[in-house]
Amino acid sequence: MVKQVLGEASERKIQQISLSNDTVKRRINEMSDDIKEKVIQEIKLSPTGMFTIQLDESTDVSSCAQLLREEYLLCTQLETTTTDVDVMEKLSSFFTANRISWDNCCGVCTDGAPAMMGSKSGFQKRVKEVAPNAKGIHCMIHHFALASKTLPDELCKILEVVVKCVNCVKAGDLNSRFFQNLCRDMDSEHEALLFYSKVRWLSQGVML
């Protein structure tokens, strides 16, 4: 196919690229390790020595519970339950293995799930047991996500129109280029259009 579209020279270049499963897997792992090491070094070399964590538990398409942390420092599987104990155990093990001290943790941001923000139990409470100076907060984006589920009917109708417009523009490169040209003709600075989500639109409205 490359030969027919781009010619023999391009075909030879493509044939020189190793695309075996082992090669691709190895390169992905190497890039992942490199990013992880850089983020760990940034934490350890911070001028103040302090850091904050922002994390969430999510389930992928294969119903596999994943624990994710900001900056993609950690993505690990929660094999069975997803309680505060499980989350704390995973994160503590990672901190210990990479010599990251809980004493330097000054803040933790999570969603509002009981396993995360429970007053008597919960991940934030367990963090404060090992890092007394850490401040726990409820993620603002999660606030917006909850609020977006109870929007008034009038606003929902407006957003439905906005959704259609945004989806039309983002449906293809040609539409995106037309939109950029339209913005330039109107002397608008907003040539880039984000993918639609109720949270983004709501947060933008609040900030304005």
Please spell the DSSP secondary structure of 123-137, one letter per residue.
HHHHHHHH-TTPEEE
* Location of structure tokens 């350890």: 44
Residues 119-125, mean pLDDT to the nearest whole number? 80
| Position with higher pLDDT, 85 vs 71 | 85
Beta bridge partners of 53: 108
What tokens were used for 22?
């082992």
d(CA 99, CA 93): 10
The pLDDT assigned to 143 comes to 79
The rounded distance, in Å, linking the Cα atoms of 99 and 45 is 13
Residue 89 half-sphere exposure toward CB, CA atoms < 13 A: 10
pTM (two decimals): 0.57
Q: State CA 163 to chain mean position distance.
A: 22
pLDDT at 195: 52
Q: Is the pLDDT of residue 122 over 50?
A: yes
pLDDT at residue 198, rounded to an integer: 53
- Beta carbons of 54 and 69 less than 8 angstroms apart: yes
Please determine, for residue 17, whether its predicted confidence score (pLDDT) is greater than 50.
yes
In the predicted structure, residue 109 carries a pLDDT above the cut 80: yes
Q: What is the pLDDT of residue 65?
A: 55
- Residue 181 is predicted with a pLDDT of 84
Quick check: 119 pLDDT over 70? no
Measure the CA–CA gap between 88 and 124, rounded to whole angstroms. Answer: 9
DSSP code of residue 19:
-
Q: Averaged over 165-186, what is the pLDDT?
A: 82
pLDDT band at 179 (very low <50, low <70, confident <90, very high): confident
Q: Are 92 and 100 in contact (CB under 8 A)?
A: no
Structure tokens at 79: 């094999």
CA-based nearest residue to 57, from 93, 102, 87: 87
**Judging by DSSP bridges, how do beta strands 51-59 and 65-69 pair with one another?**
antiparallel
Tell me how far apart the alpha carbons of residues 19 and 25 are, in angstroms, rounded to a whole number.
Answer: 10
Residue 27 burial (CB count, 10 A)? 11
